[in-house]
Amino acid sequence: MRRQGLVLGGAAVALCAWCGWTSAYHRSTGPAETTWVFSLAAVLAVDLALWRGSRRMPFGWRLKPVAHPWPRPGQGGRRLALRGLAPWIVLFAVALAWDVLGLDTGPNAYHLTISALAQAYRPLNAALLLVWMLVGIGYAAARARSPFGREGISAPPVTAGPEAPAPGAALGAGVVTVGGHHPVLPGLLLPSSPAAGVAFWLAVPIAALLVDRSARRSHGRVANAEELARFISTPMAANVALMAAWAFAGYHLFAR
């Protein structure tokens, strides 16, 4: 047990160090694309080990299945399942709305989208890469811990900020550039301060952790993050779409 803890602790330190180092490279550069490919390969290697372990194949990482599916037996029904997903739906909707409205900024001003702010602030870029990699690993772990002991089978179906340089300046300076068009609503819906945008995106994973913690104390009435991943990825088409969306998001955020 102690040895396992040391291995996991060392892996966590190495992962944080990797994310901090690669955060120095900005999108659309050779080093950024190369380091993203290595990050993707590392996550896929862990996911492959989890998949092989769920099928009791050699060189796999076997995780103990959870005791109960979600929704819990006797708590089925579309209305109750939707209620159990409501906190996550609200959180995802708020984050999506902010990212879309974050494009509504004045000329030569910071966008408040996560992709723009991450390129402007290196610590945020490192944290975002860390979250992206942990999501990829956690998703595979959640599916490998299916209560039925088989990966991919889950619950039964239920009935004014600082100005950026002039367009064309290098992103290597750590500042985001935007086009010179005039938006219809120049920053009226969201605050114009990049600090507010950074604070919002730091609050999103904290809110997700709080929702997950609350769900684990709800005795199955609310889905935790692991149960959410299994529930929404039960159909094969949904599983493929989620993995493709995750890979595309990483390519967009860290490579090009």
Q: For every residue of 197-214, which 3-state class applies, written as one string?
A: HHHHHHHHHHHHHHHHHH
Q: Tell me, what's the pLDDT at 67?
A: 87
Is 20 within a domain?
no
Q: Tell me, what's the pLDDT at 78?
A: 58
Token digits for 59? Answer: 């060189």
Domain containing residue 37: 33-165+173-255
Is 99 within a domain?
yes
For the chain, 256 residues long, give each residue's pLDDT as a single digit of tens: 677 788 889 999 999 999 999 999 999 999 999 999 999 999 999 999 999 999 889 989 999 999 888 888 766 555 678 899 999 999 999 999 999 999 887 667 778 999 999 999 999 999 999 999 999 999 999 999 998 544 444 444 443 333 333 333 333 333 333 333 444 444 557 888 899 999 999 999 999 999 999 999 998 899 999 999 999 999 999 999 999 999 999 999 999 8
How far is the CA of 195 from the CAs of 95, 112, 114, 209, 254, in angstroms? 16, 9, 12, 22, 21
Task: Name the residue among 225, 212, 248, 213 with its Cα closest to residue 143.
Answer: 225
Sign of the dihedral through C-alpha 135, 175, 16, 57: positive
Q: What's the domain count of the chain? A: 1
Q: Tell me, what's the pLDDT at 1?
A: 67
Is 124 within a domain?
yes
Q: Tell me, what's the pLDDT at 73?
A: 76
Is 60 within a domain?
yes
How far is the CA of 16 from the CAs of 39, 91, 129, 142, 229, in angstroms? 12, 26, 9, 22, 24
Q: Cβ(204)–Cβ(95) under 8 Å?
A: yes
Is 10 within a domain?
no
Is 187 within a domain?
yes
Token digits for 254? Answer: 């860290």
Q: Please tell me whether the overall predicted TM-score, pTM, comes out greater than 0.85 for this model.
A: no
Q: 131-187 pLDDT, tens per residue?
A: 999 999 999 999 999 985 444 444 444 433 333 333 333 333 333 333 334 444 445
Tell me how far apart the alpha carbons of residues 181 and 108 are, in angstroms, rounded to a whole number: 9
Is 11 within a domain?
no
Q: Cβ(112)–Cβ(234) under 8 Å?
A: no
Indicate the DSSP class of residue 234: -
Token digits for 236? Answer: 């094969």
Indicate the DSSP class of residue 130: H
Is 55 within a domain?
yes
Q: Cβ(47)–Cβ(57) under 8 Å?
A: no
Q: How many Cβ atoms from other residues are within 10 Å of residue 201's Cβ? A: 23
